[in-house]
Amino acid sequence: MIMNDAATIQGQPVMREEEFRTPRVERPYFLRPTSQGVEVIKIPPQWTWQKEPVQRVLACLGLKQNWDSYGGKVPSLDTAIAVISCIDGMPPNNTLIPRIAPLPTGGIQLELRRGSKELEIEFSPNGEVFYLQSDGAQNSEGPTSVTQDQILSWMTWLTAS
């Protein structure tokens, strides 16, 4: 914020100490655009590690068309909701934070790694979900449905020795 009485160094305004020391307030909700306006979605109070990946999913919705300069499409709200539901289905004491990556097709990919084990779950804009499970020696991949049992199976596999 530039103020009339702000000190300047070489013509550049300097922020007052109180302006950059103000703590950032985390809101217990996020806004979702709808055809009727905006809907407020409350973040469950039990969420801890889930907040960061969900914020990254929501950031994917803010991308512009051609975001990668190769015609990248913006993910749909339905795709984002599917990814957030998957994150919400992971165990609350999870120590593996998923990496979130937008895909040029308009999908979103969720990636988890532990040691030599990797799990990639790709949420396509048409509602299909594909996974790749690899431990360095053996791969398993294909279409899947993301159920609570499937999520727990993946997490058990990732965290097993």
The pLDDT tens digits of the residues spanning 35-54 come to 777 666 666 667 778 888 98
Per-residue pLDDT, 38: 67
E-assigned strand segments in the chain: 8-9, 12-13, 29-34, 37-42, 99-102, 108-114, 117-123, 129-134, 139-144
Instruction: Tell me the average pLDDT across 47-68.
Output: 88
Q: Give the integer Cα–Cα distance in Å for 70 and 89.
A: 33
Q: How confident is the model at residue 120 (pLDDT cuts 50, 70, 90)?
A: very high
pTM to 2 decimal places: 0.73
**Residue of 101, 103, 106, 109 lying closest to 73 (CA atoms):** 106
What's the DSSP call for residue 99?
A: E
